[in-house]
Amino acid sequence: ENLFSKPIDLDGDGNPEQIRLIFSDKDEIWNCRASLKVVSKNKSFSKYLGDWFYPDFTRLDILTIGQNIKPFIVVGSAGGAHSESRTVYSFNGNEITEVLSTFSDAPSITEVDLDNDGTKEIVCKMRNYDKDPIEDSYEVAYKWDGARFVKVK
C-alpha cells in the first residue's frame, strides 16, 4: 500500500485536514486501485477513485486559486510522455466532491488568472492532430463558479 500524505485546512475551520492518496497492491500488470482519504477532526472520509492508477505516475497536490476560495485536492497523473490528467476535489467538512476532471494531450495543465479578477483558471493545452499538433495547439480553460469548474474557453 503506497501512501502520499499532505496536511491543509480544506474546509476553512482553522483545523488542518490530513489528505492521503492510498494505493492497493499492484496486480500482474502493475495496475493499482486508488482511494482518496481525508481525516478531519478524528473523522475519516474516503472516495474510491478507481482502477488503472500507477503510483509512480500519480501525484497528490493542493490547489489554491484565490484568496477567498478554499483550497482543493488534486490528483494528477501522467499518461505516458504525451498526456496528463487532473481530477480536482473539494471537501466541505463532511464530503469529498469531484469538481473537475480534465486532461491535456500536450501535456500542460497550469493555473493562470486569465481575466485578472484575482482568481486563477485551470488551463489545459491541447494539440490539434488534424492540423499541425504543435503549431495549431489550443487551450481549454475552466473557471470556478462557486460550486464547480465550468469551461470558459
- pTM flag (> 0.75): yes
**Which residue matches cell numbers 482511494?**
35
Peptide bond into 71 cis (omega under 30): no
Q: 15 to each of 6, 12, 71, 111, 127, how far by Cα in Å? A: 13, 8, 13, 26, 42
Order of strands, sheet of 96-104, starting from the edge strand that comes earlier in the sequence = 58-63, 72-78, 84-91, 96-104
According to the model, what pLDDT value does residue 18 have? 93
Q: Residue 80: which pLDDT band, with cuts at 50, 70 and 90?
A: low
According to the model, what pLDDT value does residue 120 have? 97
Buried b (16+ CB within 10 A) or exposed e, 111-139: eeeeeeeebbbbbbbbbeeeeeeeeebeb
pLDDT single digits (tens) 114-149: 999 999 999 999 988 788 777 778 899 999 999 999
Q: Residue 57: which pLDDT band, with cuts at 50, 70 and 90?
A: confident
